[in-house]
Amino acid sequence: MSQDLRTVFLEVEPWESEFIQSHCRQCGSFRSFRQELADLPVEEIRDVEILSIFIYSQLSREMIGKLEKLKMIATRSTGYDHIDLDACRERGIVVSNVPEYGSNTVAEHTFALILALTRKIHKAAGQTVRGNFSQEGLRGIDLKGRTIGVVGTGAIGEHVCRIARGFAMRVVAYDIRPNKTLANQLDVQYTDLDDLMSQSDIVTLHSPHLPETHHMISAERLALMKPHALLINTARGGLIDTRALLAVLREKKIGGAGLDVLEGEELIKEEREILSDRYDMEALQTLVQNNALLRMENVVITPHMAFNSEEALTRILTVTIDNISGFACGKPQNVVTPRE
Protein backbone atom coordinates (compact mmCIF):
# COMPACT_ATOMS: atom_id res chain seq x y z
CA MET A 1 0.00 0.00 0.00
CA SER A 2 1.40 3.38 -0.97
CA GLN A 3 2.15 6.06 1.59
CA ASP A 4 1.80 9.83 1.42
CA LEU A 5 5.34 10.79 2.40
CA ARG A 6 6.76 14.29 2.72
CA THR A 7 9.13 14.59 -0.22
CA VAL A 8 11.75 17.23 -1.00
CA PHE A 9 13.85 17.62 -4.17
CA LEU A 10 17.05 19.68 -4.01
CA GLU A 11 19.18 21.04 -6.87
CA VAL A 12 16.29 21.05 -9.35
CA GLU A 13 15.60 23.51 -12.13
CA PRO A 14 12.05 24.73 -12.88
CA TRP A 15 11.60 22.35 -15.83
CA GLU A 16 12.61 19.42 -13.63
CA SER A 17 10.07 20.43 -11.01
CA GLU A 18 7.37 20.53 -13.69
CA PHE A 19 8.43 17.10 -14.96
CA ILE A 20 8.25 15.64 -11.44
CA GLN A 21 4.84 17.20 -10.87
CA SER A 22 3.55 15.63 -14.08
CA HIS A 23 5.00 12.17 -13.59
CA CYS A 24 5.36 11.43 -9.89
CA ARG A 25 2.01 10.32 -8.48
CA GLN A 26 3.59 9.27 -5.20
CA CYS A 27 5.29 12.66 -4.65
CA GLY A 28 2.03 14.42 -3.79
CA SER A 29 2.58 18.03 -2.76
CA PHE A 30 6.35 17.77 -2.86
CA ARG A 31 8.65 20.71 -2.34
CA SER A 32 11.56 21.55 -4.60
CA PHE A 33 14.52 23.89 -4.21
CA ARG A 34 17.23 24.98 -6.61
CA GLN A 35 19.75 25.22 -3.77
CA GLU A 36 22.18 22.60 -2.63
CA LEU A 37 21.77 21.23 0.86
CA ALA A 38 24.54 23.42 2.31
CA ASP A 39 22.80 26.57 1.06
CA LEU A 40 19.41 25.70 2.54
CA PRO A 41 18.43 26.29 6.18
CA VAL A 42 17.83 22.87 7.71
CA GLU A 43 14.56 24.17 9.16
CA GLU A 44 13.16 24.22 5.63
CA ILE A 45 13.38 20.45 5.32
CA ARG A 46 13.53 19.18 8.89
CA ASP A 47 10.29 17.20 8.42
CA VAL A 48 11.37 15.52 5.16
CA GLU A 49 10.78 11.78 4.82
CA ILE A 50 12.03 11.29 1.25
CA LEU A 51 14.92 13.47 0.10
CA SER A 52 16.12 13.58 -3.51
CA ILE A 53 19.52 15.17 -4.09
CA PHE A 54 22.21 15.49 -6.72
CA ILE A 55 25.97 15.17 -6.26
CA TYR A 56 26.63 18.64 -4.83
CA SER A 57 24.54 18.05 -1.71
CA GLN A 58 26.70 16.37 0.90
CA LEU A 59 24.68 14.21 3.29
CA SER A 60 27.05 13.80 6.21
CA ARG A 61 26.36 11.88 9.40
CA GLU A 62 25.76 15.19 11.16
CA MET A 63 23.22 16.36 8.58
CA ILE A 64 21.45 13.00 8.54
CA GLY A 65 21.17 13.26 12.30
CA LYS A 66 19.30 16.56 11.95
CA LEU A 67 16.70 15.02 9.62
CA GLU A 68 15.02 12.88 12.24
CA LYS A 69 12.09 11.76 10.07
CA LEU A 70 14.15 10.85 7.01
CA LYS A 71 13.29 7.42 5.62
CA MET A 72 14.67 7.44 2.10
CA ILE A 73 17.32 9.22 0.03
CA ALA A 74 16.92 9.16 -3.75
CA THR A 75 20.13 10.41 -5.26
CA ARG A 76 19.84 11.44 -8.90
CA SER A 77 23.24 10.01 -9.71
CA THR A 78 25.01 6.71 -10.13
CA GLY A 79 27.70 7.55 -7.58
CA TYR A 80 26.84 7.93 -3.91
CA ASP A 81 30.09 9.04 -2.30
CA HIS A 82 28.33 12.25 -1.22
CA ILE A 83 26.17 10.25 1.20
CA ASP A 84 27.30 8.72 4.50
CA LEU A 85 26.04 5.20 3.89
CA ASP A 86 27.08 3.94 7.31
CA ALA A 87 24.92 6.55 9.02
CA CYS A 88 22.02 5.64 6.72
CA ARG A 89 22.42 1.94 7.42
CA GLU A 90 22.41 2.55 11.17
CA ARG A 91 19.21 4.58 10.89
CA GLY A 92 17.54 2.17 8.49
CA ILE A 93 17.37 4.84 5.80
CA VAL A 94 17.00 3.40 2.31
CA VAL A 95 19.35 4.91 -0.29
CA SER A 96 18.51 4.44 -3.97
CA ASN A 97 20.54 5.61 -6.94
CA VAL A 98 20.25 5.74 -10.72
CA PRO A 99 22.54 2.89 -11.73
CA GLU A 100 22.49 3.51 -15.47
CA TYR A 101 21.16 6.58 -17.20
CA GLY A 102 23.76 7.85 -19.59
CA SER A 103 26.42 5.35 -20.52
CA ASN A 104 26.40 6.64 -24.08
CA THR A 105 26.08 10.26 -22.88
CA VAL A 106 29.19 10.19 -20.70
CA ALA A 107 31.08 8.06 -23.23
CA GLU A 108 30.34 10.57 -25.98
CA HIS A 109 31.60 13.41 -23.78
CA THR A 110 34.73 11.38 -23.11
CA PHE A 111 35.46 11.41 -26.83
CA ALA A 112 34.58 15.08 -27.06
CA LEU A 113 37.44 15.72 -24.62
CA ILE A 114 39.74 13.34 -26.49
CA LEU A 115 39.05 15.01 -29.83
CA ALA A 116 39.40 18.49 -28.34
CA LEU A 117 42.92 17.55 -27.27
CA THR A 118 44.03 15.44 -30.22
CA ARG A 119 42.76 17.96 -32.79
CA LYS A 120 43.43 21.05 -30.62
CA ILE A 121 39.85 22.21 -31.10
CA HIS A 122 39.81 24.30 -27.92
CA LYS A 123 42.91 26.20 -29.00
CA ALA A 124 41.69 26.64 -32.58
CA ALA A 125 38.29 27.90 -31.46
CA GLY A 126 39.90 30.45 -29.15
CA GLN A 127 42.14 31.73 -31.96
CA THR A 128 39.40 32.10 -34.55
CA VAL A 129 37.17 34.02 -32.12
CA ARG A 130 40.02 36.54 -31.92
CA GLY A 131 40.21 36.68 -35.73
CA ASN A 132 43.32 34.53 -36.03
CA PHE A 133 42.82 31.88 -38.74
CA SER A 134 46.40 30.65 -38.78
CA GLN A 135 46.94 26.88 -38.60
CA GLU A 136 50.29 27.26 -36.90
CA GLY A 137 50.52 25.11 -33.79
CA LEU A 138 47.24 23.36 -34.53
CA ARG A 139 48.46 20.10 -36.08
CA GLY A 140 46.65 17.17 -34.53
CA ILE A 141 46.95 13.40 -34.50
CA ASP A 142 44.75 10.55 -35.73
CA LEU A 143 43.02 8.22 -33.29
CA LYS A 144 43.14 5.30 -35.73
CA GLY A 145 45.77 2.81 -34.61
CA ARG A 146 46.30 4.46 -31.22
CA THR A 147 45.94 2.51 -27.99
CA ILE A 148 43.27 3.63 -25.52
CA GLY A 149 43.34 2.31 -21.98
CA VAL A 150 39.90 2.11 -20.38
CA VAL A 151 39.98 1.97 -16.59
CA GLY A 152 36.66 0.50 -15.49
CA THR A 153 34.46 -1.36 -17.97
CA GLY A 154 31.02 -0.98 -16.47
CA ALA A 155 28.20 0.49 -18.56
CA ILE A 156 30.08 3.69 -19.43
CA GLY A 157 33.47 2.06 -19.93
CA GLU A 158 31.93 -0.57 -22.17
CA HIS A 159 30.40 2.13 -24.38
CA VAL A 160 33.77 3.91 -24.53
CA CYS A 161 35.28 0.66 -25.80
CA ARG A 162 32.63 0.42 -28.53
CA ILE A 163 33.22 4.00 -29.68
CA ALA A 164 36.96 3.47 -29.63
CA ARG A 165 36.66 0.45 -31.89
CA GLY A 166 34.62 2.62 -34.25
CA PHE A 167 37.66 4.88 -34.48
CA ALA A 168 39.77 1.79 -35.28
CA MET A 169 41.69 2.13 -32.02
CA ARG A 170 43.33 -0.69 -30.09
CA VAL A 171 41.61 -1.10 -26.73
CA VAL A 172 43.17 -2.31 -23.50
CA ALA A 173 41.26 -2.29 -20.23
CA TYR A 174 41.53 -2.74 -16.49
CA ASP A 175 38.72 -3.86 -14.21
CA ILE A 176 38.61 -5.98 -11.07
CA ARG A 177 35.86 -7.93 -12.85
CA PRO A 178 36.87 -8.32 -16.51
CA ASN A 179 33.99 -8.49 -18.98
CA LYS A 180 34.68 -11.63 -21.00
CA THR A 181 31.88 -10.88 -23.45
CA LEU A 182 33.32 -7.43 -24.13
CA ALA A 183 36.78 -8.91 -24.57
CA ASN A 184 35.52 -11.45 -27.09
CA GLN A 185 33.15 -9.21 -29.04
CA LEU A 186 35.40 -6.15 -29.34
CA ASP A 187 38.85 -7.67 -28.92
CA VAL A 188 39.40 -5.72 -25.69
CA GLN A 189 42.59 -6.87 -24.01
CA TYR A 190 42.45 -6.85 -20.21
CA THR A 191 45.64 -6.17 -18.28
CA ASP A 192 46.76 -4.78 -14.93
CA LEU A 193 46.58 -1.06 -14.26
CA ASP A 194 50.31 -0.38 -14.35
CA ASP A 195 50.68 -2.10 -17.72
CA LEU A 196 47.68 -0.18 -19.06
CA MET A 197 49.24 3.12 -17.96
CA SER A 198 52.53 2.33 -19.68
CA GLN A 199 51.22 1.15 -23.04
CA SER A 200 48.28 3.51 -23.64
CA ASP A 201 48.32 6.64 -25.78
CA ILE A 202 45.12 7.71 -24.04
CA VAL A 203 44.02 6.65 -20.54
CA THR A 204 40.36 7.24 -19.67
CA LEU A 205 38.84 6.71 -16.22
CA HIS A 206 35.42 5.18 -15.57
CA SER A 207 35.72 3.80 -12.05
CA PRO A 208 33.74 4.71 -8.92
CA HIS A 209 35.41 6.83 -6.24
CA LEU A 210 35.83 4.56 -3.23
CA PRO A 211 38.43 4.49 -0.45
CA GLU A 212 40.33 1.84 -2.38
CA THR A 213 40.28 3.87 -5.64
CA HIS A 214 41.14 7.25 -4.10
CA HIS A 215 44.21 8.63 -5.94
CA MET A 216 44.52 5.40 -7.91
CA ILE A 217 46.18 7.58 -10.55
CA SER A 218 49.14 8.42 -8.34
CA ALA A 219 52.50 10.03 -9.03
CA GLU A 220 53.97 6.55 -9.49
CA ARG A 221 51.36 5.58 -12.08
CA LEU A 222 51.53 8.90 -13.90
CA ALA A 223 55.28 8.32 -14.23
CA LEU A 224 54.49 5.17 -16.25
CA MET A 225 52.67 7.11 -18.99
CA LYS A 226 54.16 7.89 -22.38
CA PRO A 227 55.41 11.48 -22.84
CA HIS A 228 52.69 12.20 -25.42
CA ALA A 229 49.88 10.32 -23.64
CA LEU A 230 46.60 11.94 -22.61
CA LEU A 231 44.67 11.40 -19.37
CA ILE A 232 40.87 11.70 -19.50
CA ASN A 233 38.58 11.75 -16.45
CA THR A 234 34.78 11.88 -16.67
CA ALA A 235 34.29 9.77 -13.52
CA ARG A 236 35.29 11.32 -10.18
CA GLY A 237 37.99 13.87 -9.40
CA GLY A 238 39.31 11.95 -6.41
CA LEU A 239 40.61 9.16 -8.64
CA ILE A 240 43.57 11.38 -9.56
CA ASP A 241 46.23 12.84 -7.28
CA THR A 242 45.85 16.46 -8.42
CA ARG A 243 49.25 17.58 -7.21
CA ALA A 244 50.95 14.75 -9.09
CA LEU A 245 48.98 15.47 -12.27
CA LEU A 246 49.89 19.15 -12.16
CA ALA A 247 53.55 18.23 -11.75
CA VAL A 248 53.73 15.92 -14.78
CA LEU A 249 51.83 18.42 -16.93
CA ARG A 250 54.15 21.27 -15.97
CA GLU A 251 57.19 19.11 -16.62
CA LYS A 252 55.68 17.96 -19.96
CA LYS A 253 55.99 14.33 -18.96
CA ILE A 254 52.56 13.61 -20.45
CA GLY A 255 50.83 15.21 -23.40
CA GLY A 256 47.75 16.66 -21.71
CA ALA A 257 44.55 16.03 -19.81
CA GLY A 258 40.81 16.27 -20.45
CA LEU A 259 38.87 16.62 -17.22
CA ASP A 260 35.14 16.84 -16.62
CA VAL A 261 35.64 16.32 -12.89
CA LEU A 262 38.14 17.76 -10.44
CA GLU A 263 39.19 16.79 -6.97
CA GLY A 264 37.45 19.20 -4.61
CA GLU A 265 35.51 20.72 -7.52
CA GLU A 266 32.93 22.12 -5.10
CA LEU A 267 35.59 24.66 -4.06
CA ILE A 268 35.88 26.02 -7.59
CA LYS A 269 32.11 25.96 -8.01
CA GLU A 270 31.72 28.16 -4.93
CA GLU A 271 35.04 29.81 -4.11
CA ARG A 272 33.41 31.74 -1.29
CA GLU A 273 33.52 28.45 0.58
CA ILE A 274 37.26 28.90 1.11
CA LEU A 275 36.40 31.50 3.72
CA SER A 276 34.46 28.99 5.80
CA ASP A 277 35.94 26.73 8.44
CA ARG A 278 34.73 23.60 6.67
CA TYR A 279 37.89 23.19 4.62
CA ASP A 280 41.38 22.37 5.78
CA MET A 281 44.71 23.37 4.27
CA GLU A 282 44.83 20.30 2.03
CA ALA A 283 41.50 21.30 0.47
CA LEU A 284 42.73 24.83 -0.11
CA GLN A 285 45.88 23.50 -1.75
CA THR A 286 43.70 21.41 -4.07
CA LEU A 287 41.77 24.57 -4.99
CA VAL A 288 45.01 26.33 -5.94
CA GLN A 289 46.12 23.31 -7.98
CA ASN A 290 42.79 23.15 -9.81
CA ASN A 291 43.04 26.82 -10.72
CA ALA A 292 46.51 26.14 -12.11
CA LEU A 293 45.09 23.32 -14.25
CA LEU A 294 42.42 25.67 -15.61
CA ARG A 295 45.10 27.89 -17.08
CA MET A 296 47.19 25.23 -18.83
CA GLU A 297 47.12 25.10 -22.62
CA ASN A 298 47.31 21.31 -22.80
CA VAL A 299 44.36 20.81 -20.43
CA VAL A 300 40.66 20.91 -21.34
CA ILE A 301 38.27 21.21 -18.40
CA THR A 302 34.48 21.08 -18.54
CA PRO A 303 32.19 21.75 -15.54
CA HIS A 304 31.07 18.21 -14.63
CA MET A 305 28.68 18.15 -17.58
CA ALA A 306 29.32 14.76 -19.19
CA PHE A 307 25.88 13.60 -18.02
CA ASN A 308 24.17 16.78 -19.21
CA SER A 309 22.11 15.83 -22.24
CA GLU A 310 18.34 16.16 -22.60
CA GLU A 311 17.91 12.43 -22.93
CA ALA A 312 20.09 11.54 -19.94
CA LEU A 313 18.47 14.10 -17.65
CA THR A 314 15.03 12.78 -18.52
CA ARG A 315 16.17 9.24 -17.78
CA ILE A 316 17.59 10.38 -14.42
CA LEU A 317 14.29 11.92 -13.38
CA THR A 318 12.26 8.95 -14.62
CA VAL A 319 14.33 6.42 -12.66
CA THR A 320 14.36 8.65 -9.57
CA ILE A 321 10.57 8.92 -9.69
CA ASP A 322 10.33 5.14 -10.07
CA ASN A 323 12.64 4.73 -7.06
CA ILE A 324 10.46 7.00 -4.94
CA SER A 325 7.25 5.35 -6.10
CA GLY A 326 8.64 1.91 -5.39
CA PHE A 327 9.66 2.89 -1.87
CA ALA A 328 6.30 4.51 -1.18
CA CYS A 329 4.57 1.29 -2.27
CA GLY A 330 6.80 -0.87 -0.09
CA LYS A 331 8.92 -2.14 -2.97
CA PRO A 332 12.29 -0.28 -2.90
CA GLN A 333 14.44 -0.58 -6.01
CA ASN A 334 17.97 0.33 -7.04
CA VAL A 335 18.84 0.17 -3.36
CA VAL A 336 22.43 0.97 -2.38
CA THR A 337 22.05 0.28 1.32
CA PRO A 338 19.02 -1.73 2.46
CA ARG A 339 17.16 -1.40 5.70
CA GLU A 340 18.36 -3.80 8.38
Q: Which residues are catalytic?
A: 236, 265, 304
Q: Taking the C-alpha atoms of 19, 20, 23 and 28 in order, what is their torsion angle to the nearest 10 degrees?
A: -140
DSSP state of 239: G
CB neighbours of 210 closer than 8 A, spacing ≥ 6?
81
Beta strands, E only, the chain = 7-9, 31-32, 50-53, 72-75, 94-96, 147-151, 170-174, 189-190, 202-205, 230-233, 256-259, 299-301, 335-337
Residue 102 to residue 14: CA distance in whole angstroms: 22
Reference 6, options 54, 60, 65, 51; nearest CA is 51
Q: Which residues contact 132 (CB under 8 A, 6 or more apart)?
A: none
Burial class from Cβ neighbours inside 10 Å (0-12, 13-18, 19+) for residue 270 reads middle
φ and ψ at 205, to 5 degrees?
-100, 130
